[in-house]
Chain A
Amino acid sequence: MGRLIDLLRERFGDKIVESHAELGDETIVIRRDDQLEIFRHLREDPAMAFDFLVDEIGVDYLGRTPRFDLVCQLLSVKHRHRLRVKVPIEEGDCWAHSLSSIWKSANWLEREAWDLVGIRFEGHPDLRRILMYPSFEGHPLRKDYPFNRRQPIVPERDPIENPWPPRGVGIRR
C-alpha cells in the first residue's frame, strides 16, 4: 500500500471504502456522504496539501451498481505527490457534492461532467452545459448513448422522400 493511503486510513478509518495502488497510482474510494469532509482534509491538511485538482470526470460502468464513478485526480504542487479519489454514484440518485468551493478548476470540470455524463452537482454556482449546446438531449459519454445518434439543430431532409430536383430543374448553373 502507498504512503498516502496509510495516512488516510489512519485518519478516516472505514470511511475509505476501498483503496489500491495499482501501477503506482494511489487510489481511494469514498462514499458521497463523506465527500466534502475528505476533500477539504486533502486540500488543507499540511501533510496532504492537494492544492491542484487535475481532473474530475464521470465514468459510466453500465451494468454495474452503482453505475457511475466520479473520478478525481489530485496533485500537490508542494509535495509533488498524486492521488486518485473515486466516488461511486447510483443511477437513480445521480448527483455529487460540488467541489467548486474548494478548487476553482472544479467549476468547469463539473459543468463538463454534467454535460457529458449527466452527474448533477449539488452546490455548483452555474451548472449548465459547456461543450454541447443547451437544447442537446441526453449525455453523450454514457454507454447507452448510441455513438451514431444524430441531433441536428436544423431538421434533416429525408433524401428518399424529398430528393434533389432532377438536373436542370430549379437549379441554374
Chain B
Amino acid sequence: MTAPAHAGRPPMPPLQRASDPVHEIMELQMGPSHPASHGTIKFNLRLDGETIVECDVEIGYLHRGFEKMCEQGTWSQCFPYTDRLNYASPLINNVAFALAGEKLAGIEAPERAQWIRMILSEVSRVCDHLTCLGMASVEVGAFTVGLYMNEAREYLYDIVEAVTGARVTVSYCRIGGLTNDVPARFADVLKDRFAKVRALVSDCDKLLSRNRIFVDRMSGVGVMTPQDAISYGVSGPMLRATGVAYDVRKAFPYLYYDRVEFDVPTGTRGDNYDRFRMRLLEIEQSMRIAEQGVALMPPGDVRIKDPRYVLPPKRDVYNSIEGLMNHFKIVMEGIKIPAGETYLSVEGANGELGFYLVSDGSGRPYRVRVRGPCFFGMASLGQMLQGLMIADIVTTFGMVNMIGGECDR
C-alpha cells in the first residue's frame, strides 16, 4: 500500500532558522478537530512564542459536492440539499433557492407565501445569531450564556417545527410557493415565543456586554478595516461591524422588506466585540420584522396554480387522468424551467447568500452555484489573525461563524 496521499500538501516555504532557539519560529497545526473550534477546520500556524506570525486556513473537510449533487436531480430535489448548507438557518437557504428558481422561471409566489417566507427567514436569522453567540460565549468560558441562548433557540425551533414539521431539515419552500400554510395559532405562538426569547436575550446581554472578562477577550481583537472587508468579499454582520451599512435587504429589497420598518445596526471598529454587538442588535431587529409581517400578512393561497410548476392537488391526482399525468411528469421529469441564467442574492444570517443558476430547459439544473458568506470570512481570517495570540483564534473564528456546510459545500 502506498503512503496516504493526503499527506502531500505543498509545504510552506522553508523556515529561516535563527541561531538562538528562543527566537525560532515554530510550526503548529491546530485542528482539524479541535474542541474549541466548532466545525472541522485546520489552521497551519507559524508561531513566535504565542504570537501568530502567519496563518494558513485550510477548509474543505465537509465538502460533499453540493453543486454536483444538484445537477443530478430535478429542481425540486435540490431543496433538501439547500437545508444542509447553513444548518443553523436552513429556511433562508430554502427561500433563496426558491426565489432564484422563480426568477429564472418568471413566476412569483402568492403574496401570503412571500410574507411567510419573510417571517420565517427572520426567525431563522435569530436562530443563527443565537447559535453563533451562544457557541462563541461557551468557547470563552461563559457557559451559562451558551445554555440560555440554546434555550431561546429551542423556543424558536418550536415555531419552525409547528410550521414545517422539522426543526432543522425543513425543505419548506417550493418553486412557486410553500409546501403548506402556517398553522392557525401561528401569530399567538410567535408572540409567546418572542417574549420568552426577548427575556433570555436581555439576560445574556446583561451577562456579557459589559462583562470585563468578555470585553477584554473581544475588544480590539481581530480588527478589519472596511476597505479590507469589502475587498475580501466579507458581508453581513462582519462587514457592518466595520461601519459599512450594506445589507441586501435594504440595498436590493426582495420579498417585502421595503414594506416593513427596521434598522441596520453598524459598528465602528470592526473588531470581535463589534461583531458580537451587531448580531445581538440584529436579533431585536429581526423580531421586529417578523412581528410586522404577522400583522400585515394577508389571507390566501400559499402556492400558485400553474400546472407547469406546482404539483396538482391530491384529489385531482387520484380522480382524473390529467391530474395523474401532471403529477407524474413533475415528479419524474422535473419542472421545466426555461433556459437561461440568473443570480439572486438574499441577506443570509452571515451575509450575502447568492444562488447562480443556469438552466438548459430540461428538468434538471445545468449548474447550481451557491455563494456562501462564510467562505469569504474564512478567506480573510488568515490576515485578521496575524500578530494575535493563539487564544484569539478561538474568539475570532467564533465571530466569523463558519458553518461548515455552507463554507465547504
What is A's interface to B at a CB cutoff of 8 Å? Answer: 22-23, 25, 51-55, 57, 59-60, 71, 73, 77, 80, 82, 84, 103-105, 107-109, 116, 128-135, 140-141, 147, 153-155
Contact = CB atoms under 8 A, between A and B. Distances in A.
Interface stretch (B154-162, B255-263, B270-278, B367-375): B367-375
Given A52-B230, A55-B371, A59-B367, A128 B10 contact: yes
A104 B229 CA distance: 9
Contacts of B409: 131
Given A54-B354, A105-B379, A132-B63, A140 B230 contact: no
B340 A23 contact: yes
B6 A133 contact: yes
B376 interface: yes
A51 B230 contact: yes
Contacts of B103: 23
Interface string B380-391: 100000000000
Interface magnitude class on chain B: 35 or more
Interface in B36-83: 59-60, 63, 65, 67-69, 71-72
B244 A105 contact: no
B4 A153 contact: yes
Contacts of A103: 231, 233
B379 A107 contact: yes
Task: Give the top 7 A-B pairs by smallest Cβ distance, nearest first.
Answer: A135-B5, A105-B233, A131-B60, A108-B379, A104-B231, A131-B63, A133-B6
A51 B244 CA distance: 13
A136 to B, nearest CB: 9
A153 B5 contact: yes
A130 B340 contact: no
A134 B342 contact: no
Nearest to B56: A126
Contacts of A59: 358, 367, 369
B253 to A, nearest CB: 11
Given A51-B230, A103-B231, A133-B5, A80 B379 contact: no
Interface of B: 1, 4-6, 8-10, 59-60, 63, 65, 67-69, 71-72, 103-104, 106, 228, 230-233, 244, 246, 251-252, 340-343, 345, 352, 354, 356, 358, 367, 369, 371, 375-376, 378-380, 408-409
Nearest to B352: A54
Given A105-B233, A108-B379, A140-B68, A134 B6 contact: yes
Contacts of B63: 131-132
Given A25-B341, A82-B343, A130-B59, 7 more contacts: A57-B369, A73-B343, A133-B60, A135-B5, A141-B68, A147-B65, A147-B68
A107 B56 CA distance: 13
A131 to B, nearest CB: 4
B345 A54 contact: yes
A57 to B, nearest CB: 5
Contacts of B72: 147
Contacts of A131: 59-60, 63, 408-409
B242 to A, nearest CB: 11
Contact of B233 (A23, A54, A82, A154): A54
Contact of B343 (A53, A84, A129, A130): A84
Contacts of A105: 231-233, 376, 379
17 contacts: A23-B104, A54-B354, A55-B343, A55-B354, A59-B367, A60-B367, A84-B343, A103-B231, A104-B379, A108-B376, A109-B233, A131-B60, A131-B408, A134-B8, A135-B5, A135-B8, A154-B4
Given A22-B340, A105-B232, A134-B8, A155 B1 contact: yes
Contacts of B352: 54
B5 A134 contact: yes
